Amino acid sequence: MDRLSRRGLLQGAAGVAAAGALGGCAMGGDDATNGDAKGTTSANNPLGVKEDAPLEVVIFNGGFGEEYAKAHEALYRGRYPKAEIKHSATQQIAETLQPRFVAGDPPDVIDNSGGSQIDFNGLVSQGALTDLGELLDAPSLDDPGKKVRDTLLPGIVDVGSYDGKFLTVNYAYSAYGIWYSKKLFDAKGWEYPTTWDGMIALCRTIKAAGIAPWTYTGVHARYMSWPILTAAAKLGGIEVIKAIDNLEPNAWKHDAVRTAADAYYQLAVDGFLQPGAEGMDHIQSQTEWCRGHAAFISCGSWLENEQKSVTPPGFDMAVAPTPSLGTSDKLPFGAFRGTGSEPFIVPAKGKNVRGGMEYLRIMLSKKAAADFTTRVSSLTAVTGAADGLSLGPGLTSVTKLIDASQGSAFTWLYSTYYRKLERERVNAASLELFTKRITASQWCDRVQKSADEFAKDPAIKKYKRA
């Protein structure tokens, strides 16, 4: 079983086609680095950064904004004052940077996130990314006697590795679960249910009180596939998820997946979903939830920061694991999906590859990680970096979720390996499911058919999860 203690990609549907087009473009691989700058290696400069080499950083300007990156750049500038840093931020990562990959002139560091993220499958298959193994084995900034890899939370290296190469640093740590307002629940005398029967019973009570039990984003309906897969993993074990990651035949038709899908389909059948949610994007549905128009929402731990401008004082948001489907669940109630997110890459053809790796090494220091957490209310991949910090109620709840899981957190990788499978196929099928246009069984069949198509497509690079 994967043992993770670990912001989901704030991704929508826009720009997917552009991102996917990368697979058909020749980008060049890591056999050439476009004249990569290199300086003298020393104890203070273990990666051999050329001290006056310019560094270009491009940040996805999403739920985390860009100010945290400016703080990280200031730390880099403090170590290399002769280096000019070019900073830019955009929500259109693929549209902005794909042509530069094709031209062999990419930036040195990219936060490859968002709805217009460049498809990792294309980047990996064409050798467009620097192998960051040297970064992992470099001494950490905080403790030269400890390697960078030894400062990372469990699972961070796994989720950033492809074919045995560590190619991306998923900087944020995201916990996924079911969110609710403790203020509302305390006022109503409600308790979060630990079982699915308890969830359905509470939904009836909530609906009778004139509040929609659940809301969701119909535009990004895949958000509702997350609790389905989480519940399936808890019911059937992590092997259910690994089969899905490995595109195995009938993986999506496993009894545990069917049972979980049928359970969440009941929310639609019994009228527990907020009317109109099928037309909402993630911000709209989250705002409805913050306004108290719905009791539950499925989301990742970036939620608190993304909604900070509209969350009422004292709302006291909290996250909880998906309820257990039955007494035969193989994983405990406290198990949840936790994973690294906000993927940072160093293009192989960047002009300052070593500066790019050094920038990531600085990001992975406790000072940089603590600053990130303080600014954007998200944990990072760095072990212990949030210790002693004053956290908001949502993030405090996340830390309690992690502690209560006692190491039983897990994740899936199919959405990283085969981005379009989740962003397009699972997303579309999930909207059909929660608008009752297909049944839970048909949802499983439809997604499995899509997974089979990916498995049989020779143009799609395949990955094996052990």
Tell me the pLDDT tens digit for each residue of 83-102. Answer: 999 999 999 999 999 999 99
Contact predicate 289/230, CB 8 Å: no
CA-based max dimension of the chain: 70
- Asked whether residue 309 falls in the same domain as residue 196, the answer is yes
**Rounded Cα distance, 45 and 263, in Å:** 55
Domain count, the chain: 2
Q: What span, in angstroms and rounded, lies between the C-alpha atoms of 207 and 203? A: 6
* Domain annotation covers residue 462: no
Considering the domain architecture, whether residues 83 and 193 belong to the same structural domain is answered as: no
* Residues 6 or more apart in contact with residue 278 via CB below 8 angstroms: 218, 221, 431, 434, 435
pTM: 0.82
Q: How far apart are CA 199 and CA 202, in angstroms?
A: 5
Asked if 231 and 260 touch (Cβ cutoff 8 Å), the reply is yes
Q: Say which CATH number the domain at 428 has.
A: 3.40.190.10
Task: Give 234's contacts (C-beta < 8 A, 6+ positions apart).
Answer: 322, 324, 325, 329, 330, 331, 332, 333, 335
293 shares its domain with 161: no
Note whether 423 and 343 are same-domain residues: no
* Parts of the chain with a pLDDT under 70: 1-35
Q: Are residues 229 and 124 in the same domain?
A: no
Is 232 part of a structural domain of the chain?
A: yes
Angle (CA) 369-372-376 rounded to 5° is 150
Give the separation between CA 43 and CA 264, rounded to whole angstroms. Answer: 55
Q: Are 367 and 249 within one domain?
A: no
Q: Same domain for 45 and 150? A: yes
Q: Is residue 406 part of a domain?
A: no
β-partners of residue 4 are 409
Type of residue numbered 337: R
Does any domain span residue 163? yes
Residue 269 tokens, joined: 């059948």
Provide the β-strand partners of residue 42: 45
Q: How big is the chain, counted in residues? A: 466
So what's the pLDDT on residue 27?
53
**Tokens standing for residue 175:** 């916990």
- For residue 87, tell me if it sits in a domain: yes
Evaluate whether 306 touches 10 at the Cβ level (below 8 Å).
yes
Please give the residue range of the domain that contains residue 315: 175-337+414-456
Residues 35 and 152 in one domain: yes
Same domain, 90 and 209: no
How far is the C-alpha of 335 from the C-alpha of 85, rounded, in Å? 42
- Look at residue 401 and tell me if it is in a domain: no
Same structural domain for residues 424 and 293?
yes
pLDDT tens digits, 308-319: 999 999 999 999
Beta carbons within 10 angstroms of residue 453's beta carbon? 13
Is residue 9, in this structure, part of any structural domain at all? no
Same domain, 204 and 290: yes
28 and 103 inside one domain: yes
Considering the domain boundaries, does residue 78 fall inside one? yes
